[in-house]
């Protein structure tokens, strides 16, 4: 009797579970159908900002601030256009920047945005000591309600990017809690933030620009796998995904690949070993300080192979830190995957194989060094392993090792590191290659130094027009004789630019996207006013 | 006549299979399990590293004759990676469980012979370590030491000596009151001499079985803390690494990345477990006659 009951209960529970699953999938399809017509969106893109949404401490530096608006912005062709400004002018010596503001701008709480708010924003940001680098700013003052004057300590052409990246916060509503509950004049206003789960925003009815089509947007903070699963289940309208998932067809979704300068490359210590940083970390590496090693690796790497093999084709070969941006020098593109030239180069510089262990030697030194990648990042891990395997036939042995970011901080001056950069601000390039930034933070960790490059970089910074600045940025990369690209000193071996991949609902139009920067923010939502259903 | 023949042949057939008593079958199981483990170690030495070099032409292949376990997203042969990973795990397991057993032996014998104070201290220490969830302690230790194989070995060694210490302490306490030890003491032998000559030989079974039974623990812990990201560097062919990275690819349908390594890990751990259990049956005087 009992046995029969048992069997019966098992059968029943199976039936119940099956029904349950069936019910679920039915629910999903219904969910799917109603989603397309509404003015709400659910996105799973990018990561959660730990510090909240305060532009004075770095929010919106990559991508758009969403809640706030900026003085200037870049359009989809990367040209600088007005946002809050009606016009701006720079004095002939490059020291004084004057900005005229629109008069019709209101914060989402109804108060007007005036010059005082701009002054307040920039003063707060320069005091915050955060990633927003305003050390060049001497003072900022309001001339009248809608005119702001910035006085710089010295001319700096990249200051314009600070005007592009810094969202304006309201003076009357700014307090310590601002980053958790932002108020701004941007296209969307803040509704709710459940940390680690979601952010809900609604269209700002007081927005002065084009009214966004979507009235409510929910951002879900999901891991890569969860975002993909959610897209598969039809629960999100846009999901950012990793290349590994890109070949999967999903019903009702299309794959959007967006070009980026989100690059990955190998930083080589440029000087010989021996010194120490102020914190006592070793500096320099005898093997990578040899130009032949760095150049040979640059020539030998099969960048297209890496793009196809590791990024499944969703990327492009990288030659500098700023590929395809207005200040990029196209002459820096080299012929790679060229083992014979690499071998010859090594031989010319005195690297020879003296015994049969397959590793080149020069004056008793073996062509062997450590390449360290952050162990949490699988793309960088794959790149590191693949590069090590690619240069092995040359006789250069790269020992790949995964470390935490804390460990990398200690090792990054004396070992090759797989870093990633890519910004819409050429100041990043300045910081990476200028000798002033040797050993400062994460910049120029290899202690790269070239006086000619320094000179060009400084000239670019001092330039008063963007065109003039770009001219010098390009020369710093390669001027025909020297530069910091692979043709010149090759302190880096740039590998790939990673396309940003999004699964987007088939009939959702996301407008024209610009080249996206390093993916810490939400570059995708930069033009969210343009989004609409087809 | 024919009936008799068939009966006879049946009987003969039965006779061909040796009639295994408990001891025989135990021995057989031990041999079989050891063979599996030996095969894994031998295979890891024979397989060349070229098979785990990246090869983008061969990436994401399902299992086939050339690649019995398939290949991963860099075109590395999963069979080679799994075998190399397992043997790395086995090495780590040997060192970790051996040091753990030695700690247990020293503390257990010390507790039972060095007087009341030391005994209380060891018992307190055992309670302390048993009272803590050892995976947490393991993660803490591995993290403090800075990850890597060293962290795993120290972590396992520091957290797994407790139960064996108790067993050894109890055994020594019992031995101490045994007549031959009492007599030896009456004859004026020093405690250390007695410990080495009379007590230690009796602990060999506990030592050995404790070692073998700790082994699967050590491997599983190596796998789990590496899986959680506190252990070995993620490009090393360790079994925990392989399993954790395979999770990312499960939703793309690459089941072979997790299935075969997981299965082989299970087989290895089961093999060790069976060796330990069966050795206990052979060595332990309470079971040996069964």
For all residues of chain A together, what is the average pLDDT? Answer: 85
Q: pLDDT tens across A262-279, in order?
A: 899 999 999 999 888 888
Position A293 pLDDT exceeds 90 = yes
Q: Which residues of B248-270 are buried (b: 16+ CB within 10 A; e: fewer)?
A: bbebbebebbbbbbbebbeebbe
The hierarchical CATH code for the domain B22-41+77-283 is 1.10.3720.10
Taking the model in full, what pTM does it have?
A: 0.78
Q: Give residue A402's pLDDT.
A: 85
Q: Give residue A484's pLDDT.
A: 92
Q: Give residue A341's pLDDT.
A: 92
Q: pLDDT tens across B238-247, in order?
A: 887 888 788 7
- What would the mean pLDDT of A384-401 be, rounded to a whole number? 91
Query: Per the CB < 8 Å rule, is A385 touching B249?
Result: no
Residues of chain A contacting residue B229, judged by C-beta atoms under 8 Å apart: 375-376
Residues of chain A contacting residue B73, judged by C-beta atoms under 8 Å apart: 244, 310, 382
Enumerate the domain spans of chain B: 22-41+77-283
Q: Give residue A13's pLDDT.
A: 60
CB-based contacts of A138, cutoff 8 Å, min separation 6: A151, A152, A153
Residues of A (201-220) whose Cβ lies below 8 Å from B: none
Tell whether A358 is within 8 A of chain B (Cβ). Answer: no
pLDDT by residue, tens only, chain B of 290 residues: 556 555 555 555 555 666 677 778 888 888 988 898 899 889 888 888 778 888 888 888 888 888 888 888 888 889 999 998 888 888 888 888 889 889 988 888 888 778 788 889 988 989 988 888 878 888 888 888 877 788 888 888 888 888 888 888 888 888 888 888 889 888 988 888 888 888 888 888 888 888 888 888 888 888 788 777 777 777 777 887 888 788 777 777 788 888 999 899 888 888 888 888 888 777 766 665 55
Asked if A122 and A137 touch (Cβ cutoff 8 Å), the reply is: yes
Q: Classify residue B164 as left (phi > 0), alpha (psi -120 to 50) or beta.
A: alpha
Strand ranges (E), A337-396: 361-362, 365-366, 368-374
Q: pLDDT tens across A169-213, in order?
A: 999 989 888 988 899 998 899 999 998 889 999 998 888 888 888
Position A458 pLDDT exceeds 80 = yes
Position A235 pLDDT exceeds 80 = yes
Long-range pairs of A110-115 with CB within 8 A, sequence gap ≥ 24: A110/A206, A111/A170, A111/A172, A111/A173, A113/A84, A113/A168, A113/A170, A113/A185, A114/A142, A114/A145, A114/A146, A115/A142, A115/A143, A115/A144, A115/A145, A115/A146, A115/A147, A115/A148
Residues of A (296-325) whose Cβ lies below 8 Å from B: 305, 308-310
Give the angle B179-B184-B187 at the CA atoms, nearest 5°: 125
Position A98 pLDDT exceeds 70 = yes
Q: Tell me the C-alpha distance between A297 and A113, whole Å.
A: 53
Query: Per the CB < 8 Å rule, is B54 touching A385?
Result: yes
Q: Tell me the C-alpha distance between B262 and B260, whole Å.
A: 5
Tell whether A384 is within 8 A of chain B (Cβ). Answer: yes
**Model confidence at A14, in pLDDT bands (50, 70, 90)?**
low
**Model confidence at A509, in pLDDT bands (50, 70, 90)?**
confident
Tell whether A383 is within 8 A of chain B (Cβ). Answer: no
Q: Tell me the C-alpha distance between B87 and B36, whole Å.
A: 12
- What domains lie within chain A, and their CATH numbers? 1-47+187-260+500-534 (3.40.190.10), 51-186 (3.40.190.10), 263-498 (3.10.105.10)
Q: Which helix (H) or strand (E) holds A147?
A: strand A147-152
Position A330 pLDDT exceeds 50 = yes
Q: Give residue B14's pLDDT.
A: 55
Count how many pairs of residues, chain A against chain B, have C-beta atoms within 8 Å: 56
Q: Are strands A397-403 and A198-203 parallel, antiparallel or unpaired?
A: unpaired
Q: Give residue A7's pLDDT.
A: 62
Q: Tell me the C-alpha distance between A286 and B72, whole Å.
A: 35
Position A343 pLDDT exceeds 60 = yes
Q: In chain A, whose CA is at the least distance from the CA of B146?
A: A407
**Model confidence at A507, in pLDDT bands (50, 70, 90)?**
confident
């Amino acid at each position: 009797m009992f046995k029969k009951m048992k069997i019966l209960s098992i059968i029943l529970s199976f039936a119940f579970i099956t029904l349950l699953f069936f019910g679920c999938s039915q629910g999903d399809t219904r969910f799917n159908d109603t989603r397309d017509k509404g003015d709400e969106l659910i996105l799973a893109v990018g990561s959660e900002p730990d510090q909240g949404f305060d532009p004075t401490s770095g929010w919106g530096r990559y991508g758009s601030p969403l809640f706030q608006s900026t003085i200037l912005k870049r359009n989809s062709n990367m040209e600088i256009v007005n946002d809050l400004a009606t016009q701006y002018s720079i004095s002939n010596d490059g020291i004084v920047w004057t900005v005229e503001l629109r008069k019709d701008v209101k914060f989402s709480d109804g108060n007007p945005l005036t010059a005082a708010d701009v002054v307040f924003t920039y003063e707060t940001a320069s005091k915050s000591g955060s990633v927003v680098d305003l050390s060049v700013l001497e003072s900022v003052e309001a001339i009248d309600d809608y005119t702001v004057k910035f006085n710089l300590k010295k001319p700096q052409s990249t200051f314009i990017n600070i005007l592009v990246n810094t969202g304006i916060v309201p003076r009357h509503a700014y307090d310590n809690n601002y980053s958790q509950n932002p108020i701004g004049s941007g296209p969307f206003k803040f509704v709710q933030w459940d940390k680690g789960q979601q952010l809900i925003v609604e269209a700002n009815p007081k927005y002065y620009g084009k009214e966004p089509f979507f009235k409510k947007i929910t951002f879900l903070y999901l891991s890569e796998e969860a975002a993909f699963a959610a897209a598969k289940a039809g629960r999100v309208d846009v999901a950012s995904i990793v290349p590994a998932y890109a070949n999967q067809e999903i019903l009702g979704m299309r794959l959007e690949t967006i070009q980026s300068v989100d690059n990955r490359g190998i930083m080589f210590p440029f000087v010989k070993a021996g010194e120490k940083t102020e914190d006592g970390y070793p500096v320099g590496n005898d093997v990578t300080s040899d130009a032949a090693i760095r150049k040979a690796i640059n020539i030998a790497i099969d960048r297209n192979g890496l793009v196809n093999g590791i990024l499944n084709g969703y990327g492009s070969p990288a030659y500098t830190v700023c590929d395809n941006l207005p200040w990029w020098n196209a002459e820096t593109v080299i012929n790679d995957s060229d083992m014979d030239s690499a071998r010859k180069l090594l031989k010319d510089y005195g690297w020879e194989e003296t015994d049969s262990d397959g590793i080149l030697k020069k004056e008793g030194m073996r062509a062997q060094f450590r390449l360290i990648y952050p162990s949490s990042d699988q793309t960088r891990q794959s790149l590191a392993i693949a590069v090590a395997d690619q240069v092995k036939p040359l006789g250069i042995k790269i020992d790949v090792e995964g470390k935490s970011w804390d460990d990398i901080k200690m090792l990054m001056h004396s070992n090759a590191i797989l870093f990633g950069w890519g910004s819409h601000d050429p100041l990043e390039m300045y910081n990476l290659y200028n000798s002033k930034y040797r050993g400062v933070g994460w910049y120029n960790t290899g202690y790269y130094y070239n006086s000619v490059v320094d000179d060009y970089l400084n000239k670019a910074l001092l330039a008063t027009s963007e065109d003039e600045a770009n001219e010098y940025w390009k020369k710093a990369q390669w001027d025909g004789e020297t530069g910091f690209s692979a043709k010149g000193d090759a302190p880096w071996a740039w590998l790939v630019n990673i396309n940003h991949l999004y699964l987007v609902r088939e009939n959702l139009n996301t407008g024209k996207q610009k080249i996206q920067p390093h993916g810490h923010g939400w570059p995708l939502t930069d033009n969210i006013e343009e989004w609409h259903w087809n | 006549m024919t009936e008799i023949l068939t009966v006879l042949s049946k009987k003969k057939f039965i006779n061909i299979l040796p009639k295994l008593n408990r001891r025989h079958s135990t021995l057989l199981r031990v041999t079989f399990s050891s063979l599996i483990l030996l095969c894994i170690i031998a295979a890891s030495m024979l397989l060349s590293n070229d098979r785990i070099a990246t090869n983008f032409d061969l990436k994401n292949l399902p299992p086939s004759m050339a690649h019995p376990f398939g290949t991963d997203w860099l075109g590395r042969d999963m069979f080679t990676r799994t075998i190399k990973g397992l043997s790395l795990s086995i090495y780590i397991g040997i060192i970790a469980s051996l040091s753990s057993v030695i700690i247990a032996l020293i503390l257990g014998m010390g507790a039972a012979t060095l007087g009341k104070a030391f005994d209380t201290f060891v018992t307190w220490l055992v309670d302390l370590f048993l009272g803590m969830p050892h995976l947490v302690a393991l993660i803490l230790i591995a993290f403090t030491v800075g990850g890597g194989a060293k962290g795993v070995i120290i972590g396992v060694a520091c957290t797994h000596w407790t139960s064996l210490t108790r067993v050894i302490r109890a055994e020594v306490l019992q031995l101490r009151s045994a007549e031959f030890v009492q007599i030896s003491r009456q004859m004026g032998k020093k405690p250390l001499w007695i410990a080495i000559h009379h007590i230690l030989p009796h602990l060999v079974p506990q030592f050995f079985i404790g070692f073998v039974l700790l082994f699967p623990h050590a491997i599983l812990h190596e796998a789990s803390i590496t899986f959680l990201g506190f252990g070995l560097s993620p490009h090393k062919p360790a079994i925990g690494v392989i399993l954790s990275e395979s999770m990312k690819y499960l939703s793309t349908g690459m089941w072979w990345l997790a299935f075969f390594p997981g299965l082989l890990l299970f087989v290895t751990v089961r093999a060790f477990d069976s060796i330990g259990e069966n050795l206990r049956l052979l060595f332990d005087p309470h079971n040996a006659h069964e």
